[in-house]
Amino acid sequence: SGTLYIVGTPIGNLSDFSPRAVQVLSSVDFIAAEDTRVTLKLLTHFGIKKPLISYFEHNKWQRGGGILDRIAAGENCALVSDAGMPAISDPGELLVKQAAERGIPVAAVPGPSAVVTALAVSGLPTGRFTFEGFLSVNRKSRREHLEEVKNEHRTMVFYEAPHKLLATLQDMLAAWGDRELALARELTKVHEEVRRTTLSEAAEYYSQNPPRGEFVLVIHGAAAPEKEVLSLEDATALARTLMAE
C-alpha cells in the first residue's frame, strides 16, 4: 500500500511552508485538495506540478473510497486544505478515519494551525485548553454550545468569520457575562494583530469598527468557584466545640 500524507499548508505566510512539505507534495502521485484553485496557486509558487483532485465537505462521501482504493493499490497521496492543518475545522477527519479502518498508513506533515498559533500569542493560560471550532449559525445549537461550556475552566479557542464576529461576541457576553479574551487576527500576515481585552470592550470596539480578516478567539475559562473560607470567629468557635468534645 501507499501512504496518505496529511500536509499542513500556511495560514497566511508562504514562508511557513516547510521544506519537507514541498518534498512530499513533489513526490506523491496525486494531491487531494479542498479547493483545487487555491492549491494550484500554492503549487505554482513552489514550482510543483501534480495531478489534483477535489476533496471537500460536499463530496467527501463519494470521493473517499476512490482515493483510498488508489492508495491501497500502491499510490501515495497528499491531502491538503486551503490553509492550515487538514482535518482541523477542515476536510480530512473522515478520510483519516476511513484510511485507519482499512489499515492504510497515514503520515503527518505538520504545518501551522490557527488554533495553536493564536493560543501561543494570546497571553492567556495555555496549560490546558479546549478547541471549540466554529459556533453553529443555528440559533438554538449556538445557544446550547455556549451554555454547555459556561463553566469550562480551561482556556477556550473558537474560530470565527469576520461578518459573524460581533454577533458572536454579543452572544458570548449574554451567555457567560464578561470575560478576558484575546482576539488574534490575520496571524502570520501583514496585518497580524492580537487584541487582549474583554468581551464587553471587544463588542463595543467592533460595533464601531467593522471587523476585517480572519479571527481566532481565545477566551479565558470560567473563574474557579470561591473556596469557602471560615471567618476567624467561626474558626475559633469550631475549635472550641472540637476541644470540648
Which position among 32, 71, 90, 211 is part of the footprint of ligand SAM (CB under 6 A)?
90
89, burial (CB in 10 Å: exposed 0-12, middle 13-18, buried 19+): middle
Q: How far is the CB of 116 from ligand SAM (least distance, A)?
A: 8
Answer for the pair 146, 217: CB distance below 8 angstroms, yes or no: no
The reply on whether position 200 binds ligand SAM by CB under 6 A is no
> Nearest-CB residue to ligand SAM?
84
- What contacts 210, CB < 8 A, 6 or more positions away? 162
202 contributes a contact to ligand SAM by CB under 6 A: no
The answer to whether residue 214 forms part of the interface with ligand SAM (CB under 6 A) is yes
User: Does 33 interact with ligand SAM (rule: CB under 6 A)?
Assistant: no
Q: Rule CB under 6 A: say whether 188 interacts with ligand SAM.
A: yes
Q: Say if CB 90 and CB 114 are below 8 A apart.
A: no
Q: Which of 60, 142, 154, 189 binds ligand SAM (CB under 6 A)?
A: 189
Is 181 a binding residue for ligand SAM by CB under 6 A? The answer is no
Q: Is 172 in the site for ligand SAM (CB under 6 A)?
A: no
Q: How far is the CB of 47 from ligand SAM (least distance, A)?
A: 24
HSE on the CB side for 192, CA within 13 Å?
12
Residue 222: exposure state from Cβ atoms within 10 A (0-12, 13-18, ≥19): middle
- Listed in sequence order, the DSSP H helices in 46-138 are 60-72, 93-101, 114-122
Binding mask 92-131 for ligand SAM (x = CB under 6 A): ---------------------xxx----------------
CA separation for the pair 73, 163 (Å, rounded): 45
Please give the grid coordinates belonging to residue 82.
486551503
* Contact flag: residue 32 with ligand SAM (CB under 6 A): no
81 binds ligand SAM (CB under 6 A): yes
Q: Which three cell numbers stand for residue 134?
A: 466554529
**Contact pick of 16, 152, 186, 201 for ligand SAM (by CB under 6 A):** 186
Q: Which residues bind ligand SAM (CB under 6 A)?
A: 11-12, 81, 83-85, 88-90, 113-115, 159-161, 184-189, 214-216
